[in-house]
Amino acid sequence: MSTLNQYFKKWVARVDGKLNELLPRENAYPSAIHRAMRYSVFSGGKRLRPVLAIASYEVCGKDPERALGAACAIELIHTWTLIHDDLPAMDNDDFRRGRYTCHRKFGEANAILAGSALLALAFRTLSRIRPYKVGLRLIDGIADAIGSVGVIGGQVVDKLYENKEVNLPALDYISIHKTGHLIKAACWTGCVIAGADKSKERHIAKYGECIGLAFQVTDDLIDGDGYRRIMGGKETRALAERLIAEAVAETENFGKRGRCLAEIAKFILERRK
Amino acid sequence: MSTLNQYFKKWVARVDGKLNELLPRENAYPSAIHRAMRYSVFSGGKRLRPVLAIASYEVCGKDPERALGAACAIELIHTWTLIHDDLPAMDNDDFRRGRYTCHRKFGEANAILAGSALLALAFRTLSRIRPYKVGLRLIDGIADAIGSVGVIGGQVVDKLYENKEVNLPALDYISIHKTGHLIKAACWTGCVIAGADKSKERHIAKYGECIGLAFQVTDDLIDGDGYRRIMGGKETRALAERLIAEAVAETENFGKRGRCLAEIAKFILERRK
C-alpha cells in the first residue's frame, strides 16, 4: 500500500502542477470566474481519475508524461460535474470536502459559468494532444461519455428519482452513467494515448467499467445509501468485491505491468474502511 | 434582398436537417433531456451563425456541405448559451421567442443539463471534422472563444453590472465577448474548413469581429438598451453603420465571392427596422 501511496503522491503533484499551468491566473480578467474555477479544482480532490489515466497509460506505453494533459482534462471535467451537481437546482449542497461549494462561495451564476468554463478548457486541453488522430478520437469518446447518454444522462435520471424510492435497474443506470462513465473514460484515455491495440483497450475499458461502478457501490457502503439501502450491507459488499475481482482479473492480462492498476482497484474497495 | 432570403432559406433547411440528425431522438432514454435539447434547438432561431459559417466557407472554397457539421456545432453552442443565460440565476427569463424558456418548460435541473449536453454534443460533432489537423484546430479555437476569457467571460462581466450603470468600456467588453466571439468564431470556422490561407483568415476574422459587435449594437438600437442608453440613438446608429462598413470593406478582398457576406452584414444593420 505504501508503494501505491508514493505513486499517488508523485502523480498528484504532477497533475496539480499541470492544472496550475492550464488554468488562467486568479487575477486574469474577469477574476471572479477564475477564482471560482481554481477554488473548485484545488479543493483537496484525490485526483483518482487523472492517476487512473496515467496508470492505464503505463500499462501500455513508456513516458507517462504524455498522458498528463489528457489526465488533467479529465479532472477539469470531473470538477465541472461536481460544481454543477452541487447547485441549488441539483443536489443543493452547501459543503463539499469541508469547504463551501462553489455557488455558496461565488454565487450561483459564477458557479454555473465556472463549471462550463472548466468543460470548455478541458476540450481545449484535449485539442493539444498529438498525433492529431488520437486527439480527435479522445474528444469524440470523452464527449460521448459525458453527454446526454453518459454522465449527464445519469444525473438526469438521478434527479428523476429524487423524491422516489429508486429500484435496482435505475440505480445501476445512475451509477454506471453518473459515476462510472468518467472513470472508465479516464482509463480508456490513458491507453489510447499510449497507442495500445484494440485487445488491450478492451481489457482497460472493462477494468474501468468495473472499478467505476465499484466506486459508487463502495461509496454507498460507506454512506449507507443507494445500493446498501436496496440490497443490504452484506450483498452490497459482495457486489463491490465481485466487481473489484473482475477488474483485477483484467489487469492480469498485462502481467507485472498490470500491478499498479490492480492495487488501485483494491484501494477503491478498501478506502475509508 | 430576396437573393439573401433564398440563401438563408436553403441553408436553414440544410442546417435544421443536420441538427435533427445530430441530436438524439426525443424518446431516447432519458427522454426528459432529449426533449429539452430539441425544444431549445428547434425554437425558431434565425440560424445566423451556421449560415455565416457556410457563407464564409463559400468565400474560400467549393462544396460548402463540408462546413455543415461545424456550422451545426456552432448553433448547438449558441443554444447552450441561450438556455444558460435564461436561467433564474442569470437573466431569469420566462419567455424567449414567444415560447417558454427551457427551464420554465422542463425545470431548472434539466435546463442546466440540456445546455451542457448541447455543449458536449457540439465538441463531439467537431471531432468528426477531417482532416484531423483542421478538426483539432477548430476545437482549440472554438473552446477558447467560448471559455472564461471568451463568451463565458462576457456573461460574467454582464452579471457584474447587473444592477449597476454600465460604462462604455465594460459594455464593449460584454458585447465583444458575450455576443461577438461566437459570431466571429462561426465565420472563422467556415474559412478554416475551406483551407483558406492566413491572409483570407484574417479578413474573415475581422469581418466576423465587426458584424459580431454590430449585431449587439443594433440589438441595443432596437431595444433601447445598452449602447443606446449610453451613447444615444444617433451615435449608436453611426457606430453600427461604421462597423458594418468596415465589415463590408473586408468582403471586398474577395471580389464577387464576397458579396454574400456583404449582404449578410447589411442585413444585420437593417433587420427589424
Maximal CA-CA distance, chain B? 53
Nearest beta carbon to residue A153 from set B30, B115, B135 = B30
Supply the pLDDT for residue A271: 81
pLDDT range class, residue B2, cuts 50, 70, 90: confident
Q: Where are the beta strands (DSSP E) in chain B?
A: 95-96, 99-100
Minimal-distance CA residue of chain B relative to A122 = B143
CB A128 to CB B140 under 8 A? Answer: yes
Reported ipTM: 0.98
CB A32 to CB B119 under 8 A? Answer: no
- B154 CB contacts (<8 Å, ≥6 apart)? B173, B174, B175, B176, B177, B178, B179, B181
- Show the domain range for B204: 2-270
CA quadruple B233, B235, B237, B239: dihedral positive or negative?
negative
Q: Determine the distance in angstroms separating the CA of A84 from the nearest CA of chain B, rounded to an integer.
A: 8
Of residues A92, A109, A104, A118, the one with CA closest to residue A34: A118
Q: Determine the distance in angstroms separating the CA of B268 from the nearest CA of chain A, rounded to an integer.
A: 28
Dihedrals phi, psi of A163, to nearest 5 degrees: -115, 25
Supply the pLDDT for residue B272: 63
CB A148 to CB B24 under 8 A? Answer: yes
CB A159 to CB B110 under 8 A? Answer: yes
Nearest beta carbon to residue B120 from set A37, A128, A143 = A143
pLDDT, tens digit only, all 273 positions of chain A: 579 999 999 999 999 999 999 999 999 999 999 999 999 999 999 999 999 999 999 999 999 999 999 999 999 999 999 999 999 999 999 999 999 999 999 999 999 999 999 999 999 999 999 999 999 999 999 999 999 999 999 999 999 999 999 999 999 999 999 999 999 999 999 999 999 999 999 999 999 999 999 999 999 999 999 999 999 999 999 999 999 999 999 999 999 999 999 999 999 999 864
CB A241 within 8 A of CB A201: no
CB B155 to CB A113 under 8 A? Answer: yes
The CATH number assigned to the domain holding A214 equals 1.10.600.10
- B198 CB contacts (<8 Å, ≥6 apart)? none
pLDDT range class, residue B273, cuts 50, 70, 90: very low
CA–CA gap between residue A2 and residue A43 (Å, rounded): 24
Nearest beta carbon to residue A109 from set B90, B115, B139 = B90
Rg (CA), chain B: 18
Q: Determine the distance in angstroms separating the CA of B62 from the nearest CA of chain A, rounded to an integer.
A: 24
CB burial of B189-217 (b: ≥16 within 10 Å; e: otherwise) equals bbbbbbebeeebbebbbbbbbbbbbbbbb
CB A155 to CB B121 under 8 A? Answer: no
CA–CA gap between residue A176 and residue A32 (Å, rounded): 34
Which of A148, A158, A159, A178 to probe the B interface (max B CBs under 10 A)?
Answer: A148
CB B148 to CB A90 under 8 A? Answer: no
The cell 477564475 sits on which residue? A34
Number of folded domains that form chain A: 1
